[in-house]
């Protein structure tokens, strides 16, 4: 698909292999359930949700020149995502994510995003070579970036002129990668999407709730933050003030991808013209609907 994108999604695009059981699980359990393989990865999850809001996202990532990569690109194309800027590398395998969920809770997960890390700055070439922008004429739209990129590459993005005019939307990908976003904390055009645990890890101190997480990150120099807390209150804060939203209570049937859905719904609401409070409410509702299945 060749089209003018409404937003760029940079980061992990891979296959999700997820085993789900309706029963609660702990380490060592063996339970009946269902195992699915679906397109996933944070950047792709965000892009797929944005597409459901009638936006046209373009992907900047890497896939292998292998059957998994070709199948993944074909599936992305069928969903209406722009894939012409995706790096296809003959020497790298397509990345994969594996998770186990029990009774709507994540038991364990492993993200194998080594090819994305190995590709490094090569996935950003379209933003510098004129296809999407350049240092002289930087891309001016919204860009969603996930923390599966290496810390070195995120630091490069923080100081790069090709990102200087963009509306940057940042998400860690997982608590284990939250601290990778520190180089971008002070970027003057960045909005950071984290959960309470990730906020605490980046700030290096406990955060009792989403409001405390937002305060901690703002004190570290973050221009704007959106902090979630599971079924608890979500908070959006910047120098102009703070807004809160409480998600509706639902019975959780799935959890993987909930944060990506929240972020994408919030971006779509803002790009669609909703105000700050309404956009936060819309994101909380979309994430609750997703978790409820």
Per-residue model confidence as pLDDT tens digits over 139-182: 999 999 999 999 999 999 999 999 999 999 999 988 889 999 99
Question: Which pLDDT value is given to residue 153?
Answer: 97
Is residue 203 in a domain?
yes
How far is 156 from 177, CA to CA, in rounded Å? 17
Q: Where in the sequence is the domain holding 140, given as residue range(s)?
A: 7-291
Whether residue 168 is contained in a domain is answered as yes
**For a pLDDT cut of 90, what percent of the chain falls above it?**
85
In a domain, 207, yes or no: yes
Q: Does 263 reside within a domain?
A: yes
> Looking at the 3D structure of the chain, how many domains does it have?
1
The CATH number of the domain where 110 resides is what? 3.40.1190.20
Does residue 2 lie within any of the structural domains? no
In a domain, 189, yes or no: yes
Rounded Cα gap, residues 70 and 64, in angstroms: 8
Dist. CA 184–CA 194, nearest whole Å: 13
Average pLDDT in the 82-109 region?
Answer: 94
Length of the chain in terms of residues written: 293
Q: What is the pTM of this model?
A: 0.91
Q: How far apart are CA 5 and CA 86, in angstroms?
A: 13
Tell whether 1 is covered by a domain.
no
Sequence-ordered list of residues with C-beta below 8 angstroms from that of 105, at least 6 positions apart, any chain: 24, 25, 252, 255
Is residue 115 a part of any domain in this protein? yes
Supply 264's token pair: 């994408």
If you average pLDDT over residues 232-249, what whole number do you get?
93
Q: Which of 287, 183, 272 is nearest to 226 (CA)?
A: 287
């Amino acid at each position: 698909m060749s089209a003018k994108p409404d937003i760029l999604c940079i980061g992990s695009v891979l296959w999700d292999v997820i085993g789900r059981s309706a029963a609660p699980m702990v380490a060592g359990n063996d339970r009946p359930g269902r195992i699915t393989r679906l397109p996933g990865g944070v950047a792709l999850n965000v892009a797929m949700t944005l597409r459901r809001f009638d936006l046209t996202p373009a992907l900047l990532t890497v896939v292998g020149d292998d059957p998994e990569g070709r199948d993944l690109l074909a599936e992305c194309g069928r969903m209406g995502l722009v894939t012409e800027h995706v790096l296809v590398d003959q020497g790298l395998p397509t990345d994969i994510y594996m998770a186990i969920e029990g009774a709507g809770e994540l038991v364990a997960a492993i993200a194998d995003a080594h090819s994305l890390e190995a590709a490094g700055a090569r996935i950003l070439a379209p933003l510098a070579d004129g296809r999407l922008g350049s240092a002289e004429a930087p891309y001016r739209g919204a860009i969603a970036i996930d923390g599966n990129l290496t810390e070195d590459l995120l630091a490069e993005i923080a100081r790069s002129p090709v990102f200087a005019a963009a509306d940057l939307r940042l998400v860690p990908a997982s608590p284990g990668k939250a601290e990778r976003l520190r180089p971008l904390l002070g970027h003057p055009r960045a909005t950071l999407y984290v959960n309470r645990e990730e906020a605490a890890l980046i700030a290096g101190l406990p955060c009792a709730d989403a409001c405390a997480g937002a305060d901690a990150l703002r004190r570290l120099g973050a221009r704007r933050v959106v902090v979630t807390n599971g079924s608890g209150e979500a908070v959006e804060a910047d120098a102009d003030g703070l807004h809160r939203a409480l998600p509706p209570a639902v019975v959780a049937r799935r959890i993987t991808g909930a944060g990506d859905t929240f972020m994408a719904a919030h971006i779509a609401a803002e790009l669609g013209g909703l105000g700050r409070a309404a956009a936060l409410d819309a994101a909380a509702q979309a994430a609750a609907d997703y978790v409820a299945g």
